[in-house]
Amino acid sequence: MNTKQQALLVIDVQNDYFDGGKFPLWNSEATLVKIEAAIAQAQAREMPVILIQHIADASKGPAPFFNAGSEGVALHPRLLAAAPNAPIVIKQHADSFVGTTLAATLQALGVKELLVCGMMTQNCVVFTAISPQAQGYEVSILPECCTTVSEMLHRIALAGVATRMTLAAGF
């Protein structure tokens, strides 16, 4: 295990982002395969894996996707199979720290470094990685383990955040 305690954050790998869901993303299946490999690698290193799930704020009315109780809001079954014992953090904002248990979970685990991946690159992945609450951590994004609505938007988002953190090819 590394001297720095690392954690793998897997953001919003939920059914609505896959074929048959309300908002399928570009390359979601291939990205899931890479996320499964990253989870296996993290587990081999005894690195904590934290799953983050977005549930739309019902007080704002029905959302286009991720509504509570829908099939689409559920974490993808292959993600749950890959990390069956991972803590799940529920969020309602793009920044996974806002109004959640993420900071307390990381603190309890003694985490110093975050490896961030998931869906959507330009939204929840980047906003979590650049969160003011993430400033106390060394943060890297795993580009191959992220996706969004198009390859172009994915690449633009990564280029935009590259000046602020490491984009790690594998880990």
Bridge partners for 140 per DSSP: 115, 166
Structure confidence at residue 171 as a pLDDT band (50, 70, 90): low
Q: What CA–CA distance (Å, rounded) separates 148 from 156?
A: 11
Cβ-defined contacts of 161-164 (< 8 Å, 24+)? 161/126, 161/129, 161/130, 164/129, 164/130
pLDDT at 3: 41
pLDDT tens, 44-101? 999 999 999 999 999 998 899 999 999 999 999 999 999 999 999 999 999 999 999 9
Summarize pLDDT for 140-167 with one digit per residue, the tens. 999 999 999 999 999 999 999 999 988 9
For the entire predicted model, the pTM comes to: 0.96
Q: CA 26, CA 30: separation in Å to the nearest integer? A: 9
Burial of 142 (0-12, 13-18, 19+ CB in 10 A): buried
Distance CA(77)–CA(86), nearest Å, equals: 13
Residue 4's pLDDT band, with cuts at 50, 70 and 90, is: low
CA–CA separation, 60 vs 57, rounded Å? 6
Strand partners, 138: 113
What's the pLDDT tens digit per position in 10-54?
Answer: 999 999 999 999 999 999 999 999 999 999 999 999 999 999 999
* Domains, in order of start, for the chain: 6-167 (3.40.50.850)
